[in-house]
Structure 1
Amino acid sequence: MSSAAPPPISAVLRPWPLFLDLSALSLPISVSESTYRLTQNLRFFLPNYAVITLIIFVVTLVTRPLPLILFLCISAAWVYLVLWRDEPLSVFDFEIDQKIIVGFLAVLTLVALFWTKTWSKLFVSVIVGAAIVLFHGVLRAPEDSLEDSPYGSLLNVVDSPRGEYASV
């Protein structure tokens, strides 16, 4: 079973200065442009958005130390077992499939959420994280927005006062 190992987390996360670049923020010109920006930014910055949501969740747990420590340990297990390992996990010379590891960690996370009664805090954190994702994803113009945008040819017309039209 030689599957391609996931890249390390440093290769997955986009640089934070790029993520927080204020010069890339602008209002979209239509709903279609907004959805285009959101899908492009979700593809490009998904790990960053996940880290932000996780940080919001951890901040909500500051008043409860036992769940905070438990979820920091579970987060460390997710990072190590899913993101940082380059080689397959072997236990007693038996190679464990990545799907089994992810399934086990998902069940462990759900059990911890219900055992510590923090599922409502996670729900609120996901809602706040989704609002941040929506806000950032719509307002940040992707670098390739002129070429791949559904309005790319229309946006190029703005450079010339007469546009790209042939004279009659």
Structure 2
Amino acid sequence: MSSPLLQIPKSVSLNPSFRRFVSRVNDSVQRTLACRRPWLELLDFDTFSRPLSFSDATSRVRKNVSYFRVNYLALLSGVLAFSLLSHPFSLISLSLLISAWLFLYFFKPPEQPLILFTRTFSNHETLALLLLVTIIMLFFTSVGSLLISTTLLGGVIICIHGAFRDPVDLFIESQDEVSSTGFFSIANGASIRSATAAVRDVAALV
């Protein structure tokens, strides 16, 4: 019987780092969503007014982003999700790309090389291949332009809302409420170590 073209290590899904990563993502998302503001407060039209000047608008945006940061993040994620669902090819391509990075590099045991078309790839070669595929997908397909345009659209929506909502009734809390305990804390632990290893490998390739 011929060997498969691509052999993904079976131990990836059982890798403790991968399980900790999934658990950390789940816990962080739940903590972040628990910090969101009421959506009715976000959409209270009685608080909307025209900014007096450009500096007033930027000040409003800064205060509203600080207060509604979780709601804005959810809004941006929703716009991105809707855009990807409207473009199945980009959604599938991006999902495959993220899965390839996770399962073939970040959470693959270092002692298990990647086997593709009966050829064995070292970690450096796997990284180079993933970087090449990522560059091609982001710069030579519609995936990159879709992500950029969708992010800009979400940013415009957030800026318009932040500029026209008067934050005089808001109580601005400390900036580190979410950053220390929320979604971005998933970068700790195994994911940081994997990213550090990736940087070292990139430097070695260069």
Relative to the length of structure 1, the TM-score reads 0.51
Q: Which residue of 2 aligns with 1:140?
A: 165
- Tell me, yes or no, if structure 1 residue 19 matches structure 2 residue 42: yes
Contact (CA 8 Å) 2:80, 2:147: kept in 1 or not? yes
Matches within 5 A, 1:1-168: 8-65=31-88, 67-68=90-91, 111=134, 114=138, 117-144=142-169
- Mark the CA change 1:45 to 1:73 in structure 2 (over 3 Å): closer, same or farther: farther
- Mark the CA change 1:73 to 1:140 in structure 2 (over 3 Å): closer, same or farther: farther
Residue type at the aligned position of 1:143:
V
What secondary structure does 1:8 align onto? helix
Residue type at the aligned position of 1:13:
R
- Mark the CA change 1:23 to 1:29 in structure 2 (over 3 Å): closer, same or farther: same
What secondary structure does 2:167 align onto? coil
Relative to the length of structure 2, the TM-score reads 0.43
Total equivalences in the alignment: 109
Residue type at the aligned position of 2:79:
I
Tell me how far 1:66 sits from its aligned partner: 5.8
Tell me how far 1:62 sits from its aligned partner: 2.1
Tell me how far 1:65 sits from its aligned partner: 3.3
| Identical residues among aligned pairs (%) | 28
Unaligned residue ranges in structure 1 (runs of 5+): 76-106, 146-168
Distance 1:129 1:18 in 2: 19
- Mark the CA change 1:60 to 1:34 in structure 2 (over 3 Å): closer, same or farther: same
Q: Which residue of 2 aligns with 1:78?
A: none
Distance 1:8 1:53 in 2: 18
Unaligned residue ranges in structure 2 (runs of 5+): 1-26, 99-129, 171-206
CA RMSD of aligned residues (A): 3.5
Pick the structure with more helix per residue: 2
